[in-house]
Structure 1
């Protein structure tokens, strides 16, 4: 049985990822800041875990509750409160980086001992095309229209740290996924994709075998090339 931890799994992309991986036969631990909001994940058959990726003590306690781990899906993330230059401060920048980037590092470092005991350790970091310079600079793309600096910078960092983790851990399969413009709370449910479509890449990367790709960035259509 494959044991999987998903952060930010109480709603939207995280919840749908949990549903699909449970359907695929995984034992899923659904991490979330407040387990009182975990009714939907519990109904799917997930095990609820209190986990705040900005709080090291919370992460450490969560790790103690896991009997084993094969797959980590770093899904938790925030959009932040800065959407241009005039409202940008170091505080608003730090808030986003603290969750979206440092949160991945905290969680990943904490679970490495468990993953190293797995016969096939897998990590999927949920990034975004908003962190891909090619999309940000190409007129007509969904990403080009996004002015926010903290969110874009954080997702660019997620893609890069994915590559670097993959190089450092060659026995792992470590990749980043791009959900695309999906209808979630982030965009007032204005995205054109469903959450199922938005989790296609994440789920596919969570299910890869030991000969699968590593250090790559994928959307629902496959690898995103440089």
Structure 2
């Protein structure tokens, strides 16, 4: 059975990905900063839960130790946890506002990936899926036909540019683990103010990569329609 960890899997897009992967036969671990919320989500889905704050080294280390003790390995890691942060015009944005977003979206991804790589290397066809965004795409944010061009989200967008670049760098240098980035697109969850496509559509790209097994590529950046321009 494929063992999968989803950070921020207790609500929104992460929850839908978890639901779909449970249905696909994965043993899903829902990582949540709020342990009670994570347990409630896991109970509803027939999944496992683990307390996991991606901004805290001790929390991430304890989560890795728990999954090692109970599962012995990890096959798929989905770095889904992310925040929008305080929205400010670029000229007014402070370093602290930027740092808050990067702490979760970028540094948290690195912290979790580093902690779980040993467990992934004990798994079968190990795969890391990083949730990025078209808001980090130079091409899409300059295309007036795309919704991404309608928003100015300097902290969030630049953090997702970093997520995409980190994904390609991991893919180039860690050949025994597959690394891919997926863009859900604007999806109607609390994160977007319930604007956008259905959560089922938003989950599609992550679910597709997570269920490819040995056929999964590495170093790709896709949404549910295909390759994402950068």
2: CA distance between counterparts of 1:83 and 1:14?
26
Match of 2:17 in 1: 17
SS at match of 2:129: strand
How many residues of Structure 1 are paired with residues of Structure 2 in the alignment?
Answer: 225
Could you give the per-residue CA deviations for residues 3-55 of structure 1, whole angstroms, max 9, x where no partner exists? 00000011000000100000000000000001211313321011110000000
Q: How far did residue 110 of structure 1 move?
A: 0.1
Q: How far did residue 86 of structure 1 move?
A: 4.6
TM-score normalised to the size of structure 1?
0.96
TM-score normalised to the size of structure 2?
0.95
Q: Is 1:58 paired with 2:59?
A: yes
1: CA distance between counterparts of 2:101 and 2:112?
16
Could you give the per-residue CA deviations for residues 191-212 of structure 1, whole angstroms, max 9, x where no partner exists? 2x11110010011111123243
Q: Which piece of structure 1 moves more, 50-59 or 61-70?
A: 61-70
2: CA distance between counterparts of 1:194 and 1:87?
33
1: CA distance between counterparts of 2:78 and 2:3?
11
1: CA distance between counterparts of 2:215 and 2:7?
25
**Contact residue 130 and residue 155 of structure 1 kept, 8 A:** yes
Q: How far did residue 182 of structure 1 move?
A: 0.5
Q: How far did residue 135 of structure 1 move?
A: 0.2
**Contact residue 137 and residue 229 of structure 2 kept, 8 A:** no
4+ long deviations beyond 4 Å? none
Match of 1:206 in 2: 210
**Contact residue 128 and residue 177 of structure 2 kept, 8 A:** yes
2: CA distance between counterparts of 1:224 and 1:2?
27
How do 1:138-217 residues align onto structure 2 when only pairs under 5 Å count? 138-191=143-196, 193-217=197-221
**Contact residue 15 and residue 41 of structure 1 kept, 8 A:** no
Match of 2:29 in 1: 29
**Contact residue 131 and residue 182 of structure 2 kept, 8 A:** yes
Higher helix share: 2
SS at match of 2:213: coil
In structure 2, list runs of 5 or more residues that go unmatched. none
Q: How far did residue 183 of structure 1 move?
A: 0.4
Q: Which piece of structure 1 moves more, 193-202 or 34-43?
A: 34-43
2: CA distance between counterparts of 1:25 and 1:115?
18
CA-atom RMSD in angstroms: 1.1
In structure 1, list runs of 5 or more residues that go unmatched. none
